[in-house]
Chains A and B, each alone.
Chain A
Amino acid sequence: MEQQKEDDGYMNKKAESITRMIDIPYGLDHSKKRYPVRGFTRDKLVEMILMLSAAIFILAIIVISIFIFARGVPLIYKVGISDFLLATEWNPTKGMFGIATMFVGTLAVTMVSLLWAVPLGVATAIFMAELAPAKIGRLLGRLVELLAGIPSVVYGFFGLIVIVPFIRENLGGSGLSVMAGAVILGIMILPTIINISRDAIVAVPLEYKEGSLALGATHYQSIARVILPAARSGIITAVILGMGRAIGETMAVVMVTGNSTIIPNSIISPVRTMTSNIVLEMGYASGDHQSALFATGVVLFIFTVILNLIVNLSLKAGKNYASN
């Protein structure tokens, strides 16, 4: 140990002067010569530990899948896969477990939120990347980070206190509705859409824009015909990840959508999403009822994993291909 310390001290002192004088070719590893045995084993041991840490991710996703599926899938088979997905009757006390209303609920709230958050988010991304002065762009970036940092339960609370009464007074109904959920969810997915779209737009090679401008196109023509098409896969990624976030969001939605297990017939009709169903009933559910909530989780899990795989396997792979 003593020897080790001395050596390190020596190295620190010398490091600066030597690196300034010469370029040492990469891969010339003297350590193996100096500590033929100890250096080797310690480095290998460290590498093993680090590798095991990295393997945690694989382990986590496997264990999570096993436990969620083991609790949920048997019930789906018991009820019947089509009954579980397509029946509109959710009545745990009578043993009726159909999640169609919640499936539609999730879909409705998500789609309406995307309807307004995607155009606004992408436009803001264009503004930040192409139009805003650098200072404004940076400031906006920080505000968007803050928007992303606010917890969903705070959004839900704001929705419950402000958005729900507003809808009740202006559109009718109780206010607890698809609309309230979509407004709040839209705000929550804005940061995802803005950040990823902006990164995609910024990543478009400058030559594309210069070429377009040199050909006589205006800045806006360049944005619409050259930059946006080039950033397309990134923007699609942004929308899909935003959608994933909307589908999985729980606390904000449960506080503002009313949670009735009915198929919504209008934008002001109350709905229950799949996530809400789990958090509302998990506290007291047992037996088949609890399994049915896990089964709801299975559907949710499969959906979000598929969305993520689309992004990571197809869209991002495509982007890398283009940049090579």
Chain B
Amino acid sequence: MRATKNGDKILTGLFWLMALVIVGILFSIITYIAVRGLPGISLDFIMQPPSRAGKEGGISTTIVSTLYLTAVALLLAVPLGVAAAVYLEEYSKANSKFAWVVNLTAETLSGVPSIIFGLFGFVFFVIFLGLGWSIISGGLTLAIMILPTITRTAQEAILSVPREYRENSLALGASKWQTVYRVVIPPALPGIVTGIILSIGRAIGETAAIILTAGSSLNMPLSLSDPARTMSVHLYILAMEGISMERAFATACLIIILIIIINYLATLSLKGLAATK
């Protein structure tokens, strides 16, 4: 009996150690990049365009490109993704084959590697539709990539709205759409927003698909048909071609700061969901 108890203590210690390893990995990555990257971040670094292929100057054009691409992707994916979620949770019948196939393809799509989306975006948007390496090609590709996340989180949020809300609304004479729009969506909104915020994170970090569809031009993108280089692509090129490690660190650091902010906003939004329950 005593031997088991001592064994249990050792085991518990081991489990704590494992958890500490995970925390340690995360913190070592973040602190290492912060220590080497933070000194390089200044107002000039954010506001100035890059010069000499990124060896000098800032990264303003890549920040604008990132925002631009993310906005285009969200504009397309959010309405579609949320609409799909509403259909799957509110309209489709319980045993609907169609809904089953949609759920399956959404899951499959979320498991497809980003480089495949890149290949597809290249051959379909860039070549077949003749959109070239551009914000619009990259944005469309990115939109398909974030659709599953948006739909899945919206589905979960809609599912968590109590059934009585719908019953009461319908019983009061509201139509199906009135019920969905005025009764189901509002309490589900924080969950839907969380999905959108997480997709922004994915959009900012995406590299492989963007490099094949939006190109890597360092010029300021002025229209949807201009090629662009996002921060992530810039980091990749700076590091792989050894252009400037100092600027690579600063860029990486800026990306991590953005991701931390985004994750924080996502948890805030989830708290909003918990509060409405």
A residues adjacent to B (C-beta < 8 A): 8, 11-12, 14-15, 18-19, 24-32, 34-35, 39, 42-43, 46-47, 49-51, 53-58, 60-61, 63-64, 67-68, 71, 120, 123-124, 126-128, 131-132, 136, 140, 142-147, 149-158, 160-162, 187, 190, 194, 218-220, 241, 244-245, 247-251, 254-255, 275, 278-279, 282-283, 293-294, 297, 300-301, 304-305, 307-309, 311-313
Interface string of B192-223 (1 = CB under 8 A from A): 00000010010011111001100000000000
Task: Count how many chain B residues have C-beta atoms less than 8 Å from C-beta atoms of the other chain.
Answer: 95
- Are B33 and A250 touching (Cβ within 8 A)? no
- Are B83 and A304 touching (Cβ within 8 A)? no
Closest to B145 in A: A60
- Are B171 and A42 touching (Cβ within 8 A)? no
Contact A255 B236, CB 8 Å, known A154-B205, A158-B32: yes
Contact A64 B112, CB 8 Å, known A53-B80, A56-B84, A152-B207: yes
Give the docked Cα–Cα distance between A26 and B232 (Å): 51
- Are A248 and B114 touching (Cβ within 8 A)? yes
Give the docked Cα–Cα distance between A66 and B205 (Å): 27
Closest to B198 in A: A149
Give the docked Cα–Cα distance between A187 and B174 (Å): 50
- Are B173 and A151 touching (Cβ within 8 A)? no
Which A residues touch B120, using CB under 8 A? 63-64, 67-68
Closest to B5 in A: A218
- Are A248 and B124 touching (Cβ within 8 A)? no
B residues adjacent to A (C-beta < 8 A): 4, 7-8, 11-12, 14-16, 18-19, 21-23, 25-26, 29, 32-33, 79-81, 83-84, 86-88, 91-92, 98-99, 101-102, 104-109, 111-120, 122-124, 128, 144, 147-148, 151, 167-178, 182, 198, 201, 204-208, 211-212, 232-233, 235-236, 239-240, 245, 248, 252, 255-256, 259-260, 262-263, 266-267
Give the docked Cα–Cα distance between A158 and B245 (Å): 11
- Are B206 and A151 touching (Cβ within 8 A)? yes
- Are B105 and A60 touching (Cβ within 8 A)? yes
Which B residues touch A312, using CB under 8 A? 104, 107-108
Which B residues touch A220, using CB under 8 A? 7-8, 11
Give the docked Cα–Cα distance between A153 and B148 (Å): 22
Contact A131 B15, CB 8 Å, known A157-B235, A294-B119: yes
Contact A57 B84, CB 8 Å, known A154-B235, A154-B255: yes
A34, A54, A149, A255 pick with most chain B CB within 10 angstroms: A54
- Are A140 and B23 touching (Cβ within 8 A)? yes
Which 6 residue pairs spanning A and B have beta carbons closest together?
A: A151-B205, A248-B113, A24-B171, A30-B173, A53-B83, A50-B87
- Are A15 and B169 touching (Cβ within 8 A)? yes
Contact A304 B87, CB 8 Å, known A127-B16, A140-B23, A150-B256: no
B106, B112, B176, B211 pick with most chain A CB within 10 angstroms: B112
Which A residues touch B148, using CB under 8 A? 57
- Are A278 and B119 touching (Cβ within 8 A)? yes
Give the docked Cα–Cα distance between A171 and B182 (Å): 62
Which A residues touch B117, using CB under 8 A? 64
27 A-B residue contacts at CB 8 Å?
A: A11-B174, A14-B172, A50-B84, A54-B83, A54-B87, A54-B88, A54-B98, A57-B102, A68-B120, A68-B123, A147-B26, A151-B204, A151-B255, A156-B239, A190-B25, A245-B111, A248-B116, A250-B115, A251-B207, A255-B239, A278-B118, A279-B115, A283-B211, A293-B119, A294-B119, A304-B112, A305-B112
